[in-house]
């Protein structure tokens, strides 16, 4: 029913435009003929056949055959030409004008005698076409046959060319003068910028480092959770370095043919060496950099051959001076140790989730160019979004803009950011889901139990708001705002487990029975208790020992192992400790809720009346039910606009 943020373990924690063909480039043409020559040839053929029809000729008067004979009798006809094919009789009148008429193919004897009697010069003619029109019936089959063979030859050459180029690198090259992202576009992460700037400075001014004998790292590995901006940093380097930049993803090396990956690695470094000083960026390097010897297919696996070639190119017999390899991954634990040693990836740069100040800077970058309302406080929003990456914050601003459009507003206001945060963190509101009175009351007490415990427990995160409006997969949500911290105490985890048990216990106290609404709460509580015992050494019975969790088999690695590092007796002890922690916190939740039963009833009734209330109102209701000040103070609550 409720969503409680699972605490992270106590450990540390934004595409370039694709280059197109040059402006003057054009596809291949038969024989390498330039485009102007093709157009000139086409224009010549067209003029040959169509031109005679368009050229101006002397106008001829169209006469009927009777009119023609009458004019012959009157002596107005000078000469006549009879077409043997079309039966067209054309000729010239005595005044110099021309005429045409249609008659029989052969003149009758009477008509022929009339022409002779009047002195008309007549003749029979069979017109013939020009040389080109006469040759077309003979040349057309030959031309069609030649065109077919040329097409087949070009297709075969294209296929052969694609096969011959299959081993070439698919890296995209970016010129130094091409506009791109710079470090000014990356908000926050001052430490990460400083480490990357050293490499950029070396490529720009190598003499400065060589004077004192400093050696630039050959490889830089960017490590961090998804969405923290590792690829964005590489794009910024492309805009800042002023040297050649080649970008490729790990999957670009893989192909169905064996040996293609290694060939593409060689071609990639050859391209970089031709540039003099260059940066090679490999995104998602874990797709080719996985541990060797862990596969079921032996040492001839295509991925392993590609990795071997990568290792040799980075630090082999042939030096690659002036070439720096940058790579990004969110799974450094599966990379091959030989890839991480000094001389290859000398430096690993952690790109963690942003802190509050960095989140504020990121929100300002993504809010630029958008119409922001006067009531929007980005500083408050940055503090209310712990654990969000740069990609999450960009999505948050976009969702807020979408909510503003839905409301018909011309500006993004605070309510839009609130709704967007609820949408991103809690899920979409399911307005079509209608609970009956019994389910709604049970949900109110369930979320009320979480809210009361979040208010009174000493080590709990501050309560933000609680709602019984269905969101995502939950019928109700109790939302706390975790404080910015990097280590967690046992007391904090115990309060988290106790708070998770609050919904289940509240239903049992009020209704006397349980339902399936606490499944997610129990799952989170059990996971935390298990890690307390097995990983964080927070159990007196197990002691200061850490046992790795059940890991998945990775490409055959540890396939023959038992998958467990401890005996059956230790397993029983671990299970007993997990059960003890859960039961103790369940009993603790029952005791606390019984002490605040009146406050629980007031919070549940407020949820039934208003559906959503904030943490300050919950604190006031708990004080009213208890009759004494609570840990949250005397602030009076308000009803959130959600």
The DSSP secondary structure of 542-571, one letter per residue, reads T-S------PPPBTTBTSSS-S-SS-HHHH
Instruction: Identify which of 406, 349, 35, 376 has the alpha carbon closest to the alpha carbon of residue 222.
Output: 349
| pLDDT for res 320 | 60
339 and 376, same domain (yes or no): no
414 domain residue, yes or no: yes
399 and 475, same domain (yes or no): no
User: How many other CB atoms are there within 10 angstroms of residue 167's CB atom?
Assistant: 17
Q: What is d(CA 462, CA 518) in angstroms, rounded to the nearest whole number? A: 21
Element (H, E) at 311: helix 302-314
- Phi then psi dihedrals of residue 616, to 5 deg: -65, -40
6 domain residue, yes or no: no
604 domain residue, yes or no: yes
Domain boundary among 104, 125, 146: 125
- Phi then psi dihedrals of residue 275, to 5 deg: -80, -10
| pLDDT for res 76 | 80
81 and 189, same domain (yes or no): no
160 domain residue, yes or no: no
pTM, entire model? 0.63
* Residue 247 three-state SS: strand
Instruction: Identify which of 401, 330, 394, 328 has the alpha carbon closest to the alpha carbon of residue 359.
Output: 394
558 domain residue, yes or no: no
R_g of the chain, CA atoms, integer Å: 43
390 and 276, same domain (yes or no): no
Active site residue 507: no
321 domain residue, yes or no: yes
457 and 419, same domain (yes or no): no
Q: What is d(CA 429, CA 423) in angstroms, rounded to the nearest whole number? A: 7
At 19, list the tokens: 């280059």
At 358, list the tokens: 């960095």
Find the domain containing 518 and state its range: 437-549+566-626
318 domain residue, yes or no: yes
| pLDDT for res 602 | 93
Q: What is d(CA 168, CA 337) in angstroms, rounded to the nearest whole number? A: 27
510 and 603, same domain (yes or no): yes
Instruction: Identify which of 291, 290, 345, 336 has the alpha carbon closest to the alpha carbon of residue 315.
Output: 345
89 and 230, same domain (yes or no): no
At 266, list the tokens: 């060689």
- The strand pair at 219-223 and 347-350 is best described as parallel
Q: In total, how many domains does the chain have? A: 4
**Ranges assigned E (strand) in 274-408:** 278-283, 323-329, 347-350
- Phi then psi dihedrals of residue 163, to 5 deg: -70, -40
Q: What is d(CA 367, CA 602) in angstroms, rounded to the nearest whole number? A: 40
At 413, list the tokens: 């206001």
| pLDDT for res 598 | 92
Whichever domain contains 472, its CATH number is 1.20.58.760
**Torsion sign (Cα): 17, 18, 19, 23:** negative
Residue 172 bridge partners (DSSP): 247
Residue stretches of the chain with pLDDT short of 50: 1-32, 56, 159-165, 167, 176-177, 179, 296-300, 551-562, 629-642
| pLDDT for res 47 | 65
Q: What is d(CA 566, CA 545) in angstroms, rounded to the nearest whole number? A: 11
78 and 195, same domain (yes or no): no
At 417, list the tokens: 């950011």
User: How many other CB atoms are there within 10 angstroms of residue 289's CB atom?
Assistant: 27
Q: What is d(CA 542, CA 535) in angstroms, rounded to the nearest whole number? A: 11
Instruction: Identify which of 504, 588, 506, 585 has the alpha carbon closest to the alpha carbon of residue 538.
Output: 585
For residue 355, give every residue at least 6 positions away whose Cβ sits within 8 Å of its Cβ, in sequence order, or none: 188, 484
Domain boundary among 320, 350, 380: 350
Contact 94, 76 (CB under 8 A): yes
Q: What is the DSSP letter of 12?
A: -
Instruction: Identify which of 242, 226, 216 has the alpha carbon closest to the alpha carbon of residue 326.
Output: 216
| pLDDT for res 2 | 46
Whichever domain contains 61, its CATH number is 3.30.720.210
* Residue 223 three-state SS: strand
Domain boundary among 327, 350, 373: 350
217 and 304, same domain (yes or no): yes
What's the number of CA atoms in the CB half-sphere (13 Å) around residue 167? 13
Task: Name the CA dihedral angle for 575, 581, 586, 590, rounded to a multiple of 10 degrees.
Answer: 150
| pLDDT for res 640 | 43
Q: What is d(CA 609, CA 629) in angstroms, rounded to the nearest whole number? A: 24
| pLDDT for res 6 | 47
Instruction: Identify which of 298, 386, 396, 286 has the alpha carbon closest to the alpha carbon of residue 336.
Output: 286
For residue 191, give every residue at least 6 positions away whose Cβ sits within 8 Å of its Cβ, in sequence order, or none: none
184 and 105, same domain (yes or no): no
**Region label for 408, one of left (φ > 0), alpha (ψ between -120 and 50) or beta (otherwise):** left
Element (H, E) at 466: strand 463-467
Q: What is d(CA 363, CA 366) in angstroms, rounded to the nearest whole number? A: 5
* Catalytic, out of 399, 413, 418, 447: 447
- Phi then psi dihedrals of residue 65, to 5 deg: -65, -35
Residue 480 bridge partners (DSSP): 463
Q: What is d(CA 519, CA 106) in angstroms, rounded to the nearest whole number? A: 107
Instruction: Identify which of 453, 165, 215 has the alpha carbon closest to the alpha carbon of residue 320.
Output: 215
List C-alpha distances in Å: 418 to 392, 396, 413, 422, 509. 14, 10, 9, 6, 33
**Torsion sign (Cα): 616, 641, 394, 473:** positive
| pLDDT for res 457 | 93
Q: What is the DSSP letter of 256?
A: S
Element (H, E) at 246: strand 244-249
List C-alpha distances in Å: 464 to 271, 355, 481, 605, 612. 55, 19, 6, 18, 11
213 and 318, same domain (yes or no): yes
- The strand pair at 60-62 and 98-102 is best described as parallel
DSSP 79-140: EEEEETTT-EEEEEETTS-EEEEE--SS--HHHHHHHHHTT-EEEEE-----HHHHHHHHHH
- Phi then psi dihedrals of residue 357, to 5 deg: -65, -40
* Residue 226 three-state SS: coil
Instruction: Identify which of 481, 490, 486, 491 has the alpha carbon closest to the alpha carbon of residue 461.
Output: 481
At 503, list the tokens: 């919904």
Whichever domain contains 383, its CATH number is 1.10.8.60
Instruction: Identify which of 509, 418, 526, 512 has the alpha carbon closest to the alpha carbon of residue 467.
Output: 418
462 and 590, same domain (yes or no): yes
204 domain residue, yes or no: yes
């Amino acid at each position: 029913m409720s969503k409680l943020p699972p605490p992270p373990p106590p450990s540390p924690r934004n595409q370039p435009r694709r280059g197109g063909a040059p402006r003057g480039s054009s596809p291949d043409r038969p024989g390498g003929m330039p485009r102007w020559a093709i157009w000139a040839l086409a224009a010549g053929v067209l003029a040959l056949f169509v031109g005679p029809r368009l050229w101006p000729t002397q106008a001829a008067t169209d006469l009927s055959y009777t009119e023609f004979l009458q004019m012959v009798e009157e002596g107005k006809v000078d000469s006549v030409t009879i077409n043997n094919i079309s039966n067209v009789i054309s000729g010239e009148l005595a005044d110099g004008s021309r005429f045409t008429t249609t008659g029989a193919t052969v003149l009758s004897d009477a008509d022929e005698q009339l022409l002779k009697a009047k002195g008309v010069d007549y003749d029979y003619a069979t017109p013939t076409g020009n040389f080109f029109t006469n040759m077309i019936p003979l040349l057309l089959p030959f031309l069609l046959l030649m065109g077919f063979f040329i097409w087949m030859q070009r297709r075969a050459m294209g296929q052969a060319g694609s096969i011959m180029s299959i081993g070439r690198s698919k890296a995209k090259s970016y010129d130094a003068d091409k506009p791109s992202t710079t470090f000014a576009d990356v908000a926050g992460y001052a430490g990460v910028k400083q480490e990357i700037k050293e490499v950029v400075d070396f490529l720009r001014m190598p003499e400065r480092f060589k004077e004192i004998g400093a050696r630039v790292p050959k490889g830089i590995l960017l490590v961090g959770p998804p969405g923290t901006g590792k690829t964005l940093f590489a794009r910024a380097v492309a805009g800042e370095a002023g040297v050649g930049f080649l970008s490729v993803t790990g999957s670009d090396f893989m192909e169905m043919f064996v040996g293609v990956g290694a060939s593409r690695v060689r071609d990639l470094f050859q391209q970089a060496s031709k540039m003099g000083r260059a940066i090679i960026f490999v995104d998602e390097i874990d797709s080719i950099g996985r541990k060797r010897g862990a596969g079921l297919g032996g040492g001839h696996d295509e991925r392993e051959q590609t990795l071997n070639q990568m290792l040799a190119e980075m630090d082999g017999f042939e030096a690659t001076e002036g070439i720096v390899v940058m790579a990004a991954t969110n799974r450094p634990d599966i990379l091959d140790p030989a890839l991480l040693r000094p001389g290859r990836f000398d430096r690993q740069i952690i790109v963690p989730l942003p802190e509050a100040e960095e989140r504020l800077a990121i929100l300002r970058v993504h809010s630029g160019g958008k119409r922001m309302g006067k009531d929007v406080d980005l500083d408050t929003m940055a503090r209310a979004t712990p654990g969000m990456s740069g990609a999450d914050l960009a999505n948050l601003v976009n969702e807020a803009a979408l909510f503003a459009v839905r409301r018909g507003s011309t500006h993004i206001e605070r309510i839009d950011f609130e709704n967007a945060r609820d949408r991103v963190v809690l899920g979409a509101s399911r307005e079509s889901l209608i609970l009956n009175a019994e389910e709604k009351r049970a949900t109110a007490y369930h979320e009320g139990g979480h809210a009361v415990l979040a208010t009174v427990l000493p080590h709990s995160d501050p309560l933000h708001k609680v709602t019984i409006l269905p969101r995502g997969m939950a019928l109700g949500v109790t939302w706390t705002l975790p404080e910015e911290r990097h280590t967690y105490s046992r007391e904090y985890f115990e309060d988290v487990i106790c708070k998770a048990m609050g919904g289940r216990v509240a239903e049992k106290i009020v209704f006397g029975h349980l339902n399936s609404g606490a499944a997610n709460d129990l799952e989170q509580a059990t996971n935390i208790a298990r890690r307390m015992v097995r990983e964080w050494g927070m159990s007196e019975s197990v002691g200061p020992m850490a046992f790795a969790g059940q890991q998945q088999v990775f490409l055959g690695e540890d396939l023959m192992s038992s998958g467990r590092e401890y005996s059956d007796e230790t397993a029983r002890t671990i299970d007993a400790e997990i059960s003890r922690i859960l039961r103790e916190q369940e009993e603790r939740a029952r005791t606390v809720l019984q002490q605040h039963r009146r406050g629980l009833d007031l919070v549940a009734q407020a949820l039934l009346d208003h559906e959503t209330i904030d943490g300050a109102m919950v604190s006031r209701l708990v004080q009213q039910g208890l009759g004494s000040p609570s840990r949250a103070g005397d602030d009076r609550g308000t009803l959130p606009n959600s």
